[in-house]
Structure 1
């Protein structure tokens, strides 16, 4: 099976995480990674790099049971069933929790760096922050399995974007009004959404 990533850098990262080889074209790396064995053993590694990838068989044909993720933003009618509504609110809360957890981690690293310049901080990336949360998820949020992992990933993705906007604004690389440092999300004020 072949995983086709969006960029060559993503393919290289998948290769490093899985131990599988990046396919070459005339001696140059491509966006394709050759996966050996069952896809499920690689799913977490691929999705930690990007949820936007294609699956192909060894001949390069798209796998009929594969999937492609596309994004859309739409509003739906709120469900009348209280149990369904509660489940949706739980996903909203999972996204907010992940955002706040990651922001706490970033602030903690910033404070530790002030006290000790040798402190190794977690990078503000979509690879590093989710990896950090996954390593301690049972201690951080023992109920994590109640919600989609994409809800948590969405919260961290929101923070990574907010940090990027703040940094770009601070260094004069962003047009428009100044962007402040991200703030914690509250249940009362946060817009309910759960997927990026």
Structure 2
């Protein structure tokens, strides 16, 4: 009988194996990869600009003695709230948005939300990394020399356990 989908670990030794694949994209594929990376960077920077503008507005209002409850409402820092905001303004803010995967934008917002969460934790003294600064803008690093693998390399994380599906014996 087949035990397809089940992994037997009796007496087996677990081995972790990794593979490294080199991509050789065509010129068109390279352009799409760059476009998706640019979309992620755009989303991160657009969300960051919105949050900075809101914080600056609230700070200016507070400096004029406006009561807390009358200040401009704070904007959300979560990835979900950033995506929801982007979906409401994307046609005017980025009319080319449909040229890329929605996940490119989502990952930019997720990275920004993580950075903001870490910053907030550091302000409260609960961050593992210690004192952190407010997340900086994301920049294009394609032209910089880097000791890391070239842009065409991908590190693939393997699935920890595998099984083989054979028919009835």
TM range (shorter): 0.5 to 0.7
Q: Is structure 2 residue 34 aligned with structure 1 residue 89?
A: yes
1:96, CA displacement in angstroms?
0.4
Contact 2:79–2:112 at 8 Å: present in 1 too?
A: no
Structure 1 residue runs of 5 or longer lacking an equivalent are 1-73
In the alignment, the residues of structure 1 paired with residue 136 and residue 39 of structure 2 have an alpha-carbon distance, to the nearest angstrom, of: 17
The Cα RMSD (Å) is 2.3
Residue 105 in 1 paired to residue 58 in 2? no
Residue pair 1:99, 1:155 contacting (<8 A) in 2 also: yes
Q: Which residue of 2 aligns with 1:12?
A: none
Q: CA deviation at 1:75?
A: 6.3
State TM-score, norm by structure 1: 0.56
Q: Tell me, what secondary structure is at the counterpart of 1:100? A: helix
Distance 1:75 1:152 in 2: 26
Secondary structure of the equivalent of 1:127? helix
Larger strand proportion of the pair? 1
Scaled by the length of structure 2, the TM-score of the pair is 0.65
Larger radius of gyration: 2
Higher relative contact order (CA 8 A, sep 6+): 2
TM-aligned CA deviation for residue 175 of structure 1: 2.4
Runs ≥4 in structure 1, deviation > 3 angstroms?
A: 189-193
List runs of 5+ in structure 2 lacking aligned partners: 1-18, 62-67, 155-169
Cα distance in 2, alignment partners of residues 142 and 172 from structure 1: 41
Equivalent position of 2:77 in the other structure: 124
